[in-house]
Amino acid sequence: MKILIIEDEENLAKLLKLGLARQGYAVDYVLDGELGERRIAMHHSDYDLVVCDLMLPKKNGLEICRNIRQYNISLPILVLTARDSVEDKVSLLDAGADDYIVKPFHFEEVLARIRALTRRPEQVLPTELKAGNLSLNAATRRVTRDGEEIPLTLKEFRLLEYFMRHPNQVLGREDIIENIWDFDFDSMSNIIDVYINRLRYKIGGEDGNRIIETVRGVGYRLKV
C-alpha cells in the first residue's frame, strides 16, 4: 500500500513517513499544496491514500480536496487540521475530504484512520488469501505453508501479498516498485531481486524459483 503525505512541516512529514514505513507502507511526501495537487493529478493511480495538512503554502488542503474531486479522482484523503470548529469540519467534508484528524494527534489514531479509509468490502479485497499451499492473512500479517508459519519482514510480507493478489499474472519491475517502494526509489537498484530471492527461499526453499518465476525481460510471476 502506498501513501502520499502533503505537509509543509518537514520534520512532521519525515516522522509520519518513518512511522508508516515501519508499518510496511510505501510513503512519499511533498512540502507544499501546489506540488501535492500536481502529484495527485499526475500519479493518483500510484497511491492508495493521501494524508494532507490543511494549512499549506501555495494551496491549502481545502482547495486540494475540492480540485481533485473535480478531476473525478476518488483517492481517499485524510486531512490533518488544527481547526476543530464544526464549520471547519463540515467545510472539509463537503470539499471532498474523507476524514480528518485534529492536531495534536497520536500516531496510533492516524494508523487507525488509515486502516478504516483503505478498508474494502470482503468480496473486493479479501483479508484471507490462498495460493496453492500458501495462506496469507492481511489483518494478522501471518503467512503459512501447509499450516506451518513462515516468518517474514514487513517488506517481504507486502511483496508476497502483492503477488498473491495477482496470482499467475506477470508483474513488471515498475509495477512492483510503484506498489511496494516509494517515489524516490532507484529503479536501477537490485534490491527487488534481493527481496524476491529472500522471499523465494522463505516460502519455498529449493522450490522457491518454481513458485515465483522470473519472466525474462518482463518481471516475475507467482505460479499457482
- pTM of the model as a whole: 0.64
183 falls in which pLDDT band (50, 70, 90)?
low
Cell numbers for 94? 463537503
Mean confidence (pLDDT) of the chain: 87
Nearest-CA neighbor of 79 among 94, 64, 100, 65?
Answer: 100
> What confidence score (pLDDT) does residue 140 get?
82
138 falls in which pLDDT band (50, 70, 90)?
confident
Say if CB 135 and CB 144 are below 8 A apart: yes
* Tens digits of residue pLDDT in 107-132: 999 999 998 887 754 434 567 888 88
Q: What is the mean pLDDT of residues 28-38?
A: 95
7: three-class secondary structure by DSSP = coil
If you ran DSSP here, which 8-state letter would residue 102 be given? E
> What confidence score (pLDDT) does residue 123 get?
39
Where are the extended beta strands (E) located within the chain?
Answer: 2-6, 26-30, 49-53, 77-81, 99-102, 128-131, 134-137, 142-145, 148-149, 170-172, 212-215, 219-222
> What confidence score (pLDDT) does residue 84 get?
80
Nearest-CA neighbor of 160 among 174, 147, 179, 146?
Answer: 179
